[in-house]
Amino acid sequence: MKRTIFSLVVCAALAHVAGCASLGGASLSDPERAAEVASFKPVQPERWTLSNGLTVLYLQDDELPLVSGKLFIRGGSLWATDVPTGSVSAMGDQMRQGGAGQLSADALDMEIEELAAGITSTMSQEFGAVAFASLASDFDRVFSIFSDVVLRPRFEPERLALWKGQSLESIRRRKDDPSTVASVSFLQLIYGDTPYGRVAVERDVAAISRAGLQGLHQRLVRPDGAILVVTGRIDRKHVEEAVQRHFGSWRARGTALPPPPADSYTPKPGVYFVTLPFSQATVHMGQIGIPRLTPDYPQIDIFNEVFGSSGFGSRLMARVRTELGLSYGIYGAISPAVVKGTNYIFVQTKAESVAPAIEASLGVLEGLQDAPPTEQEVQEKKAAIRNSFVFNFDSPEEIAGRQARLELLKYPSDYDQTYLPKIEAVTPQEVSEVARKRWDPSQFVVVVVGSEKAYQSLAQQMKEEGSPLKAFDLKKLGFESALVGR
């Protein structure tokens, strides 16, 4: 199966360059290629659910003598807003790194290394994931350790202290990287002091404790709605027995997660300058966006490709970098999220080119608002999306893992089956409608990170008649590990 998928992907990706034989031997025209890719249906994993609410997705794959798995856990930092920022991330990391079950952290490291296996754990805003990979012959032992990492983490103080030291150093180094400064500042200004805009600082890390991580583990690591994916050279009966043995007694909480926190913060439009001694300037600008899966999500995906997410094939890159030479790197897109996403444009430019680069970027957006892209542009972007979409199903592990993530994030069950037909139906006029409906430059928050030279150049050019920046206020802000002086 995997070789068949790979052949289909290569054919779709290369046919426009040199022609490609179809799987049956005849060449495919573009419409035929589109139809074949759209009609592709990956094998579906087998599934069953334990009495405690844990769902298992299983796909056998005998290509290599390996087994891998990942447990997806509903809930993350958005459901733990009463603890120091960064606590949930620390808990996710330390589930694996702090030892588990009868194994100390050092003993766990050593055993996993001797088994040539891997176990990882993370927690994010919306969900957590604990993963394992091993030789098929070592599955029983590795799966037992994996279950201890999930259910019985030790959170050893020495490992937590090491994590805290590394985190503090990372926080202190934020202002050494202009891209990090711009991104952190933009996040804080767009979302404010809400769960979506908080950034961990030194006092947060100092307040994280072993007892706090244990409490978070009790709250967030639960079988209710969790999804365990297992793929590899192992039969279903073996997986069922192992899952029941290690996770059958995992106690369900019996309550559903509440909705994520609302975001009622309204950002203040303006140009915010962070003065730091960098030779070039970095710009991160945009506005509050939209939740996932609005009805126009296929049109948004095409818009993103045309506007700024497709590298050198995007209008932002073609205009601002290639034609005008105003940027070292540039990209932009609509990025939906759980409650409110962001619309953003990211630009790196010379100190004296800050204002022209911003104005040119806004000009690209205005161009798409005023007139639709060409039919050729839209067809090229559809082909790019179509060709890359098949890579989501390049292995049983990817197929089952994708299904788990889509379920976890509450995508409709037919999302993958309807995605490409919806993409094919998008018109140039609908792409332009996205630009008009979803973007309002008058509401932009513009963060600029650069030297005093960049500030003086920007301040001067913002006064020029006809500049789209003339209507914005310009304010200087400080930055240590996060914004100060807001």
Q: Across the strands, what pairs with 355?
A: none
Query: Given a cut of 90, is residue 279 above it in pLDDT?
Result: yes
pLDDT at residue 14 is higher than 70: no
- The pLDDT of 225-237, averaged and rounded, is 98
State residue 168's pLDDT score.
Answer: 97
Q: Is the pLDDT of residue 22 over 70?
A: no
Q: In sequence order, what E strands does 280-423 have?
A: 280-288, 329-335, 342-350
**424, 14, 394, 380: which is closest to 22 by C-alpha?**
14
Q: How wide is the angle at C-alpha 184 spanned by C-alphas 182 and 190, nearest 5°? A: 95
pLDDT band at 26 (very low <50, low <70, confident <90, very high): very low
Beta-bridged to residue 73, according to DSSP, are: 128
35 within 8 A of 386, measured Cβ to Cβ: no
* DSSP 8-state code for residue 252: P
Tokens of 412: 């409709």
Residue in this structure with the two tokens 């579906």, named with its chain if needed: 44
> How far apart (Å, rounded) are the C-alpha atoms in residues 201 and 178?
17
The pLDDT-based confidence of 33 (bands split at 50, 70, 90) is: low
Measure the CA–CA gap between 463 and 465, rounded to whole angstroms. 6
pLDDT per residue as tens digits for the range 441-463: 999 999 999 999 999 999 999 99
Helix (H) / strand (E) containing 46: strand 46-49
Return the sign of the alpha-carbon dihedral for residues 26, 28, 29, 34: positive
- Alpha-helix runs per DSSP H in 317-414: 354-370, 375-389, 396-408
Burial of 297 (0-12, 13-18, 19+ CB in 10 A): middle
Residue type, 306: V
Mean predicted confidence (pLDDT) in 295-316: 97
Say yes or no to pLDDT of 47 above 90. yes
Residues in the chain: 486
Q: Which of 359, 341, 365, 329 is nearest to 179 (CA)?
A: 329
210 token code pair:
């072993």
Q: In the block, which residue shows the tokens 């020495």? A: 158
What are the strands of the beta sheet with 127-135, ordered from one edge? Answer: 46-49, 55-60, 227-232, 66-74, 127-135, 118-123
Residue 385 CA to residue 431 CA, distance in Å, equals 15
Question: Does pLDDT of 401 surpass 60?
Answer: yes
239 and 136 Cβ atoms separated by less than 8 Å: no
Q: Per residue in 346-379, pLDDT tens?
A: 999 999 999 999 999 999 999 999 999 999 999 9
List all residues 6 or more positions away from 392 whose beta carbon is below 8 Å from its beta carbon. 398, 399, 402, 416
Position 39 scores a pLDDT of: 62
- Enter the pTM of the model: 0.89
- If you search the block for the tokens 């996993």, which residue do you land on? 112
Would you say 260 and 410 are in contact if contact means Cβ atoms under 8 Å apart? no
Specify the pLDDT at position 34: 55
Asked if the 46-177+195-247 domain carries CATH number 3.30.830.10, the reply is yes
- The pLDDT score that the predictor gives to residue 326 is 97
Torsion angles phi and psi, residue 135, rounded to 5: -65, 145
* Backbone φ and ψ of 253, nearest 5°: -85, -25
270-372+427-484 has the same fold as 46-177+195-247: yes
Amino acid at 132: F
Residue 30, pLDDT above cutoff 60: no
What is the torsional sign of CA 47, 49, 53, 58? negative
CB-based contacts of 104, cutoff 8 Å, min separation 6: 154, 156
What CATH class is the domain 270-372+427-484? alpha beta
What residue spans define the domains of the chain? Answer: 2-39, 46-177+195-247, 270-372+427-484
User: Strands 329-335 and 118-123, how do they pair?
Assistant: unpaired
Token couple for 311: 């590298």
Contacts 24+ apart (CB under 8 A), 164-169: 164/90, 164/205, 164/206, 164/208, 167/86, 167/90, 167/200, 167/205, 168/202, 168/205
pLDDT tens digits, residue range 110-125?
A: 999 999 999 999 999 9
